Structure 1
Amino acid sequence: MAGNRDVRQGGFTLLELLATLAIVAILASVAVPGMQSLFTHNRIASDYNDIAGGLRQARSMAISEGESVSVTLAPREGGGWTLVVDGLDGPPLRESFRGSGVTRTWNVTFNEVGRLQCDSDSLCPEKKIEIADKTLWISPIGYIGKRNDDKTP
């Protein structure tokens, strides 16, 4: 048996390993740009949800304290955003230090029953806050979220 040279050993050849490595490299080059888009979309969705949560918190404060609460959403210098209750010392309601889609300052005031407050005694029109490619709607009665007819993803 010592002279039997027809025994084949298992394993991969160098050519098979290089071909597999080339296929993996091609697939990775296709997947990475898609992942970048996914990360950007998720960051914007996270900011949208954080801002909506902060506005809901401000509305709840107005109702529970029985007085108007004004909030300001503003971009941060160097990226990110901050949501603060006007006239209240202390930390902001919500903030983000990452770059985001908040590009301008927005002011919202909720009255003591949680409705949007405007300068006149009439019912305020709905307000929309644009966050990158998403739109956050605030109805005159204080609903905060996405409208049913809004096609934003």
Structure 2
Amino acid sequence: MSAGQAIASQGRSSGQAGFTLIELLTALAVLAILSTLALPGFSTLMWDNRAANLSNELVTALNVARSEAIKRGESVTLCAMAGCATTDWSKGWQLLDDGHNKLREWQPNVPGMAVTAEVAQLVFDGMGRPAASLDILLETGHRTREISVSRSGLVRVSSDTSQGDSR
């Protein structure tokens, strides 16, 4: 046996390798501390991602409605899922043709997020112009996004309207 091997095997008999209980508990304590520091940031990131996904889905619906109106040359209506009679769009929204036949529906599954609009429905004419401007608010506990549709049909998303951070 060489001198290097003799020094390396001091304190441990052959066949023993691994971590001691103290080393394992220390590593777990460090992991627990780091995870408690990272968890609030991860939660915020998760809510921001949900809000971004929901606003993208709603912007897609608005663009599809406008395109469908232009393609058909007749008016189409985008409204809340509850019979086009409520300003609460949290349960989803639907696209209806001029004869009130359902063309498409969106049912996002984002619990804890409120989606409210100024009006119950938005009608696009055959030229793709909305009958009125519209603001839709998507609210989580700590973040608000506003989707605005201008009279020209331009869709704009503002993130965290309480701080004026426009995206």
- TM interval, short-chain normalised: 0.7 to 0.9
> Which of 155, 158, 163 is residue 144 of structure 1 equivalent to?
155
Gaps of 5+ in 2: 83-88, 159-163
Q: TM-score, normalised by structure 1?
A: 0.75
The code of the aligned residue for 1:58 comes to: A
The code of the aligned residue for 1:112 comes to: G
Deviation at 1:116, TM superposition (A): 1.6
The code of the aligned residue for 2:93 comes to: L
| Distance in structure 2 (CA, Å) of the matches to 1:114 and 1:91 | 16
Partner of 2:101: 89
Percent identity at matched positions?
A: 29
Q: How do 1:2-151 and structure 2 match up within 5 A?
A: 7-8=9-10, 9=12, 11-73=18-80, 80-86=90-96, 87-90=99-102, 92-99=104-111, 100-103=113-116, 106-118=120-132, 126-132=133-139, 133-146=144-157, 151=165
Per the alignment, do residues 137 and 103 of structure 1 end up closer, same or farther by CA in structure 2, a change over 3 Å counting? closer
Once structures 1 and 2 are overlaid, which stretch shifts more, 33-42 or 88-97? Answer: 88-97
Where 2:44 maps in the other structure, the secondary structure is: helix
Deviation at 1:43, TM superposition (A): 0.9
1:108·1:116 contact (CA, 8 Å) conserved in 2?
yes
| Distance in structure 1 (CA, Å) of the matches to 2:75 and 2:102 | 18
What is the Cα-based RMSD across aligned positions, in Å?
2.9
Aligned residues: 140
Gaps of 5+ in 1: 119-125
The code of the aligned residue for 2:146 comes to: T
Q: TM-score, normalised by structure 2?
A: 0.69
1:106·1:129 contact (CA, 8 Å) conserved in 2?
no
